[in-house]
Chains A and B, each alone.
Chain A
Amino acid sequence: MATVEERVKTVVARVLQVDRARIKDEHSFTSDLGAQSVQSVELVAAFEEEFGVELDEDAALSVQTVGGAVEFLAKVCQEQGAKT
Chain B
Amino acid sequence: MSVRTKAHPLEDATEPDLLEEVFDYGLPPLIRFEGPCVEHIDGKAVEFDPRSVETRDVFITDTTFRDGQQARPPYTVDQMVHIYDLMAKLGGSHGVIRQSEFFLYTKNDREALDRCRALGHKYPECTGWIRAVKGDFRLVTEAGVKETGMLTSCSDYHIFNKQKFKSRKECMESYCEVVAAAFEAGVRPRCHLEDVTRADIDGFVLPFIDRVMDMGSHVPEHLKPKIRLCDTMGFGLSFPSASLPRSIPKLIYKVNHECGVPSSRLEWHGHNDFHKVHVNGATAWIYGCDAVNATLFGFGERTGNPPLEAAIFEYIALKGRLCGVETTVITQLADYMRSIGAPIPANYPFVGRAFNVTSAGIHAGGLRQDERIYNIFDTRKLLGRPPRVNITDKSGVDGVALWVNDFLGLSGDQRVNKIKCHKVARWVMDQYEVHGRLTAISDQEMEAKLKELMPDYYEKRKKS
Q: A residues within 8 Å of B by Cβ?
A: 37-38, 41-42, 44-45, 48, 55, 57, 60
Contacts and interface: CB of A to CB of B under 8 A. Distances in A.
7 contacts: A37-B361, A37-B396, A38-B426, A41-B397, A44-B419, A45-B420, A48-B419
A43 to B, nearest CB: 9
Give the interface SS of chain B, mostly helix, strand, loop or mixed: helix
A44 B421 CA distance: 11
Nearest to A57: B417
Given A37-B397, A57-B418, A57-B419, A42 B361 contact: no
B422 A45 contact: yes
B422 A38 contact: yes
Nearest to B417: A57
B419 A38 contact: no
A37 B397 CA distance: 7
Interface string B393-432: 0001100000000000000000001111110011001000
A32 to B, nearest CB: 21
A48 to B, nearest CB: 7
A41 B422 contact: yes
A38 B397 contact: yes
Given A41-B421, A41-B422, 6 more contacts: A38-B396, A42-B422, A42-B426, A44-B419, A45-B419, A45-B422
A38 B417 contact: no
Contacts of B418: 41, 57
A44 B426 CA distance: 14
A55 B419 contact: yes
User: Max chain B CB contacts within 10 Å: which of A37, A41, A44, A45?
Assistant: A41
B300 to A, nearest CB: 45
Contacts of B420: 45
A52 to B, nearest CB: 14
A60 B420 CA distance: 13
Nearest to B425: A38
Contacts of A57: 417-419
B437 to A, nearest CB: 15
Interface string B321-362: 000000000000000000000000000000000000000010
Contacts of B429: 38
Contacts of B426: 38, 42
A45 B420 CA distance: 7
Interface string B248-272: 0000000000000000000000000
B145 to A, nearest CB: 62
A45 B400 CA distance: 15
A48 B422 CA distance: 12
Contacts of B425: 38, 41
Nearest to A45: B422
Contacts of A45: 419-420, 422
Contacts of B422: 38, 41-42, 44-45
Interface string B357-388: 00001000000000000000000000000000
Most buried by B among A37, A42, A57: A37
B413 to A, nearest CB: 13
Nearest to A47: B419
A66 to B, nearest CB: 19
A11 to B, nearest CB: 13
A18 to B, nearest CB: 18
Interface in B42-77: none
A60 B429 CA distance: 22
A42 B396 CA distance: 12
B361 A41 contact: no
Nearest to A42: B422
A42 to B, nearest CB: 5
B399 to A, nearest CB: 10
Contacts of A55: 419
Contacts of B361: 37
Interface in B422-456: 422, 425-426, 429
A42 B420 CA distance: 9
A41 B421 CA distance: 9
Contacts of A38: 396-397, 422, 425-426, 429
A57 B418 CA distance: 7
A38 B421 CA distance: 10
Contacts of B417: 57
Nearest to A54: B419
Contacts of A41: 397, 418-419, 421-422, 425
A20 B420 CA distance: 26
Residue in B361, B418, B425, B429 whose Cβ sees the most chain A Cβ within 10 Å: B418
